[in-house]
């Protein structure tokens, strides 16, 4: 056993003494020792209940003959960090989370790992560590929050962000907004909808690194506790059979995950996290792979925020297994032979699986859209690519041409939108918000929600070298690469320049001739960095492009 390095033999008597100081018995020490990495804290709704999930995981490990050892990591709540300096630390936290799990599992050689995240950067960070370490491991998340109810309709966190714009535009008064904020998030769990957290927890399941149900079983459900116990038992099977994460996370498995991504209309943040995870597995996953998979994968589930259906409804309809089974039935190139953390190939996991509600998960020959939920755009404004959640774009905005309204920070843009200075037809450009320029590639949920709340969602586009929350809807194009801080073309846009967006053609064009762009390029000077000390400054110095997953330089 790997843990023998810290517990077996005469020379490890001091090590065993330290275990015994914590109350471990000789029997417990002799068993496989399983690390349980979690991010329980009291600042993230998706993590407030993870202590219960961890207890269930530990019970499962003990039932299967192992000894669980829990330890914690940090976590950032993107919603609470949104639209202020805190958001500059959100994406950057992914690397700290991965590093902290690696440090713990190398300093204390566990025989296996169970990773218990729930939200945004924490899930991909833990999976990156899982693949970097490559010891038997299972992911089990805390599960999605239930949707709230407000005056007879389903609501969620993004409803509140959009409510700010509605108050500013006179469509809602402040008393109703107060009522909405009290009902939109009814309890624990990752925010209700196919936002980043739930997207990544579904994709962990689709890759095969989490058990069926991981992405959709509600946080408050007893089934979530049972799933956590099964995860604890599953890791013991993987330890016994020496099945490691890289045996599971192959190129074929990542293609399955991208297919589920397209079928569900997941967050654009998956285009950052999936390549970063693949990199840790030694799998090359270029941006163009997303377009290739999108072209052959229909969008068959229309989920909040781009559609009407909730995560709970997706779960009741059969969840990720039903989506995979339907894609396989429809000939959408699902790889059924890949191994999973059940210890069985995907094909066996899907035996007998069916769609339980064809209104929630449609057949591949009756999709919401013929192509998948995400598109990669290129052009003279984004030579290295940009990303849009096309399943959440209104039909009239799939092609758009309009004048640029240019802002060098999210705060400036937000003030202009809420101040009524953005008009129908405009293209809002928010730059110097990339991985280096932000730093940390801040999410733009506040301005995108403000556009919707101000009634401009079907007439205004927004593009940025930053990124978007999974809660964003509309013609919002992010990850524009190269970023402005690196002198990318987005840095050369002037107020009033015409920008043409053609999502079906996968293009985004700045209608300024090359000679003029060269003049502008010769005069361009990089701005002073926003943060000059501490972790964010170190991150900015080491981070790569959003087009490569914003991983750190090797």
Would strands 476-481 and 461-464 be described as parallel, antiparallel, or unpaired?
A: parallel
Q: Which helix (H) or strand (E) holds 222?
A: helix 222-241
Virtual CA dihedral for 220, 222, 228, 232, nearest 10 degrees?
Answer: 160
Distant-in-sequence, close-in-space partners of 21: CB < 8 Å, separation ≥ 6: none
Active-site residue among 3, 302, 469, 545?
469
Q: Could you tell me the CA-to-CA distances from 119 to 35, 146, 154, 198 in Å, in that order?
A: 20, 15, 21, 7
DSSP sequence for 89-146 = GHHHHHHHHHHHHHHHHHHS--SEEEEE--STTHHHHHHHHHHHHTSSEEE----BPP
DSSP sequence for 388-437 = EEGGGS-GGGSEEEEEEEEESSHHHHHHHHHTT---TT-EEEE-S-STTT
**Angle at the Cα of 119 (from 114 to 123), degrees rounded to 5?**
40
Q: Is 522 annotated as catalytic?
A: no
Would strands 399-407 and 427-430 be described as parallel, antiparallel, or unpaired?
A: parallel
Residue in the structure block whose two tokens are 């959009």: 162
For residues 511 and 509, give the distance between their C-alpha atoms in angstroms, rounded to a whole number.
6
Q: Could you tell me the CA-to-CA distances from 395 to 194, 385, 390, 421, 513 in Å, in that order?
A: 20, 22, 9, 24, 29
Query: Cβ distance 476 to 448 under 8 Å?
Result: yes
Residues with catalytic function? 469
């Amino acid at each position: 056993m790997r843990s023998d390095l810290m517990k077996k033999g005469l020379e490890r008597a001091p090590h065993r003494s330290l275990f015994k100081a914590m109350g471990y018995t000789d029997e417990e020490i002799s068993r496989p020792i399983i690390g349980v990495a979690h991010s329980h804290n009291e600042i993230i709704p998706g993590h407030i209940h993870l202590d219960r999930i961890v207890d269930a995981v530990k019970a499962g490990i003990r039932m299967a003959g192992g000894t669980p050892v829990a330890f914690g990591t940090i976590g950032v709540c993107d919603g609470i960090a949104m639209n202020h300096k805190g958001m500059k630390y959100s994406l950057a936290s992914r690397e700290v989370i991965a590093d902290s799990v690696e440090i713990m599992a190398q300093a204390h050689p566990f025989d296996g790992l169970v990773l218990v995240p729930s939200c945004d950067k924490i899930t991909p960070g833990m999976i990156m560590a899982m693949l970097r370490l490559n010891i038997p491991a299972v992911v089990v998340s805390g599960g999605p929050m239930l949707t709230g109810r407000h005056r007879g309709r389903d609501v969620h966190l993004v409803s509140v962000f959009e409510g700010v714009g509605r108050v500013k535009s006179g469509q809602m008064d402040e008393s109703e907004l107060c009522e909405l904020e009290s009902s939109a998030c009814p309890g624990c769990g990752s925010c209700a909808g196919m936002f980043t957290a739930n997207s990544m927890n579904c994709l962990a399941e689709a890759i095969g690194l989490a058990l069926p149900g991981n992405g959709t079983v509600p946080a408050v459900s007893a089934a979530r506790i049972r799933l956590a116990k099964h995860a604890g038992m599953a890791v013991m099977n993987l330890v016994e059979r020496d099945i490691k994460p890289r045996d599971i996370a192959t190129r074929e498995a990542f293609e399955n995950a991208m297919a589920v991504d397209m079928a569900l209309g997941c967050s654009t943040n998956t285009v950052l996290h999936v390549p970063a995870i693949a990199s840790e597995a030694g799998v090359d996953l270029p941006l163009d792979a997303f377009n290739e998979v999108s072209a052959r994968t229909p969008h068959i589930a229309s989920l909040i925020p781009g559609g009407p259906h909730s995560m709970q409804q997706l779960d009741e309809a059969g969840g990720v297994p039903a989506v995979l089974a339907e894609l396989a039935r429809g000939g959408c190139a699902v790889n059924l032979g890949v191994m999973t953390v059940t210890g069985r190939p995907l094909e066996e996991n899907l035996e007998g699986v069916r769609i339980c509600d064809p209104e929630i998960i449609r057949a591949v020959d009756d999709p919401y859209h013929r192509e998948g939920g995400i598109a990669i755009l290129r052009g003279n404004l984004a030579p290295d690519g940009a990303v849009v959640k096309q399943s959440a774009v209104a039909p009239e905005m799939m092609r758009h041409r309009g004048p640029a309204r240019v802002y060098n920070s999210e705060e400036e843009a937000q003030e202009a939108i809420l101040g009524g200075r953005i008009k129908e037809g405009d293209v809002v450009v928010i730059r110097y918000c990339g991985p280096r320029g932000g730093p940390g590639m801040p999410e733009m949920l506040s301005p995108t929600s403000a556009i919707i709340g101000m009634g401009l969602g079907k007439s205004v586009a927004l593009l940025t070298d930053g990124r978007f929350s999974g809660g964003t809807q509309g013609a919002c194009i992010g990850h524009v690469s190269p970023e402005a801080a690196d002198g990318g073309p987005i840095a050369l846009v002037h107020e009033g320049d015409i920008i043409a967006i053609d999502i079906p053609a996968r293009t985004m064009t700045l209608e300024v001739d090359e000679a003029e762009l060269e003049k502008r390029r010769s005069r361009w000077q990089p701005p002073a960095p926003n943060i000059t000390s501490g972790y964010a400054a170190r991150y900015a110095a080491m981070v790569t492009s959003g087009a490569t997953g914003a991983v750190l330089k090797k």
